[in-house]
Amino acid sequence: MIDIDAVRRDTPQCEHRIHFNNAGASLMPEPVYRAVTGHLAREREFGGYEAEAMAAEDLAAFYTEFAGLLRCRDHEIAYVENATRAWDMAFYSLPLKPGDRILTHETEYASNYLAMLQLVRRKDLAIDVAPSDASGQLDVDAMERMIGPRTKVIAITHVPTQGGVVNPAEDVGQLAARHDLIYLLDACQSAGQIDLDVGKLGCDMLSGTGRKFLRGPRGTGFLYVSDRIVDRLDPAFIDMRAATWTAPDDYELAPGAKRFETWESNVAGKIGLMQAVRYARKLGLPAVESRVSQLAATLRATLDEQPRVTVHDRGTRRSGIVTFRVDGEEPEATAARLSEDDINVSVAVRTSAQIDFGGRNLDALVRASVHYYNSADEIERFAQRLIRPATG
């Protein structure tokens, strides 16, 4: 059980604002905020290098905390400046040749798909897009039928940004293993709200961010790279953190996932993200996942009861992301109206999900995303404000 009163005390912003934009960026708990600002204060007083040396224990704990979160080894973790760059570092390092094929799903995120399109142009690759099943989640059987001799990698998003679905990532991991395919999983929206075990997921690489459900600072991310694949990967770029210049004409890559790091980084952010992971692990990810799932189900049920509101979530398993529209009102207008009443939501747009939204004939949806520190009372107040103007 999570002590909701305690976590809300750690999140004082809850007193004056309903924050249903956790899929964009969660509110930081006090220990994370203090970790970031405390290190910045030390940088100001002592200097950047000197403050980093003082924080050696916390910086080392970044890797052990993430290893505990994902159930992997600490050397399989890299600190990267954001989720997109983490995913890029993995994707652009893949040993792909002209004619090779990438297998993905129609809910894939814009930044990931754009990278795929770029390599299609650069390397003459091909993309195969697996469909969804009747529920709206990835159809694993259909995906398997699409595998051919030139299929080399499966790259999917665990929890798509534009809807409530949780894709069957473990089933995809089993599929990748059966066909000896590289498996890259985007966990940007699942890390921090779903209990992740990379062994059960079966992924070779997993990327994520700090700012969303992990409740860390912006400008932080992470990358997991399995020992079983790391030596097959050639990082897109390297520096003196990722490699050692061993001779005028030679170098050696750093062992493990650190070959995907860069020497210069946001040290305060790294410490803050470590504290965010530590905070989440103390609560327990199974408890977090259960709480988020219950709140999201309550929100969907409450919205279903409202006149002129249509929920658009799909899938047999659903996340803390709830998407909907208010009849007669554009999603951007709904979000702006709620913001005037101190309620945070965001808008999912077609340019972030061309294939998924195109197939569903959608241009935009309001996205309300809950976290464990939210409450049933907030859901009730949210629904009341949603169906009437903020000045009513």
238 near 251, Cβ under 8 Å?
yes
Q: Strand 182-186 and strand 205-209: pairing?
A: parallel
Mean of the pLDDT values across residues 96-104? 98
Q: What's the CA gap between 33 and 258, in Å, rounded?
A: 26
- Residue 390 or 367, more confident: 367
Note the pLDDT tens digit of each residue in 251-278: 999 999 999 999 999 999 999 999 999 9
Name which of 169, 208, 213 is nearest 188 in CA terms: 208
- The whole-number pLDDT of residue 388 equals 72
Note the pLDDT tens digit of each residue in 127-152: 999 999 999 999 999 999 999 999 99
Mean of the pLDDT values across residues 295-307? 97
Based on the number of CB atoms within 10 Å of its own CB, is 73 exposed (0-12), middle (13-18) or buried (19 or more)? Answer: middle
- The whole-number pLDDT of residue 392 equals 41
Q: How many angstroms from the chain centroid is the CA of residue 48?
A: 29
- The whole-number pLDDT of residue 387 equals 86
Give the phi and the psi of residue 23 in degrees, each rounded to 5. Answer: -75, -15
Q: Is the pLDDT of residue 344 over 90?
A: yes
Q: Is the pLDDT of residue 60 over 60?
A: yes
Q: How confident is the model at residue 389 (pLDDT cuts 50, 70, 90)?
A: low
32 near 216, Cβ under 8 Å?
yes
Q: How confident is the model at residue 391 (pLDDT cuts 50, 70, 90)?
A: very low
The reported pTM is 0.96
Residues of the chain with pLDDT > 70, as a percent, come to 99
Q: What's the CA gap between 37 and 42, in Å, rounded?
A: 9
160 near 355, Cβ under 8 Å?
no
Note the pLDDT tens digit of each residue in 181-210: 999 999 999 999 999 999 999 999 999 999
Map out the domains of the chain with their CATH numbers: 4-27+284-386 (3.90.1150.10), 31-282 (3.40.640.10)
Name which of 265, 256, 264, 253 is nearest 63 in CA terms: 256
Q: Is the pLDDT of residue 6 over 60?
A: yes
Mean of the pLDDT values across residues 47-66? 98
